Chains A and B, each alone.
Chain A
């Protein structure tokens, strides 16, 4: 592959929430800044910018990842999902989002996009998690408002609703 030089912008293309997107980035541009400033997708939040808080968590090739710990050029060719891709249609929340609303699992909402992305991925692979497993998984996210109790309740509730839906199908 050719060398992407430091002083130029380079074309970056990937799939975002099912659609092909592209934009220009210097090699040093973080994926968070590319999503927010180049693509205008501001649902992904930026807290600590060094991997600790989890606010910037997105899905990359099926797994959760800190967008602030990735360069935009690294994401070239990959498949990404962000919080903008969770709702099935405008005006309708996903099962997980709806559980967050009902359980008051967000207050200021700063941490919420990252937590939603993490849990959305987790519940796909773990249909019946225990409370302890959810808490262990949530250790990768900081929330200064909720005290986590409603977040855990929402996650367990969403898991139950998703199991029901799968059983009906």
Chain B
């Protein structure tokens, strides 16, 4: 419980309606995209950097921790209040300060929803390349907190690559600016890069300078259907070997084809073993040649290959893919999202590994993957109310992580570590690397005030 004095002071800082302390109100902020939950002492939603500074100072005086939160869609337990803490929600900092298309920069507050930024940019024929499938709900602050990926990473990279500068409130309440509006503004160390992906444990981001790009002149979306997942991964390897860098190489297996069909009726054949969504973009005059090469490569193994002929067809394909996570909820009440990544060449082995885990543990697993990146999201379907089954699922998830590490991969390609994967972190990193993380955390936050318990313990 927060003392009356603290609550009063919080309300003075951010206004009455931006402080939540009632039980029901707190409940909502105890969850995120995972199945974990916790309870915060309170929730406070600042609207300015100055308010954030005041909140940090107040919390420091009372030795209360802060858990930063955007939309709470993360899949890592990154916003679960895990110690005596107040949630600082950025959902009311939603100003788009500036869109400067001439100079390829936008300046936004952290609570801006990715989609809302895209809509504003699209009016000017621009876009912000990072677009996690959750882009309709997730915030720029959350995207940078996790260094989110999405379907375009193979060509365009991840959130990290589009962050030019940040305004950050440090755990001591001081404000710094990292980077700026271009590639050459970092002060000695690349502070922006260490904040990106730090899941709120180093600083609170209150302003973001992002790099924006013009929408490519042309784009082609293709669909290839396969009998087996392994066949699809062969196409991926062959496309890369041909020197083509598609924007997108997304894969769904038979289970996901069926669950998304139930949901969207996009017309994917339910008996297909896998579908691959392939997209290329660039100049109009380069499209035909690439589509032709990709078509030849895919047709060697695919049972069907087609090029979307209209915007409506493209939309339909993407609706399927974007509804993938949600669609499985119809099959079983709960699902666990995994996020393992392996070097592209080990992708077929990883698929084999997932099948083996499903068999060994007797669980149902569907796979969606950013196949070009070697990033797999095996979705394990189960019923959380069944305790025994839930434990089996956790064991299976651990097995998936270890399988990825055995294939020289990583336990997280884009969702982050948070609480969920913290226990496996020392399987991926040597003691020296783990200590390097602690050195960084100690430099920013020696008293462990921001998002304690996430990623590493001090």
Q: Do A and B come from one complex?
A: no
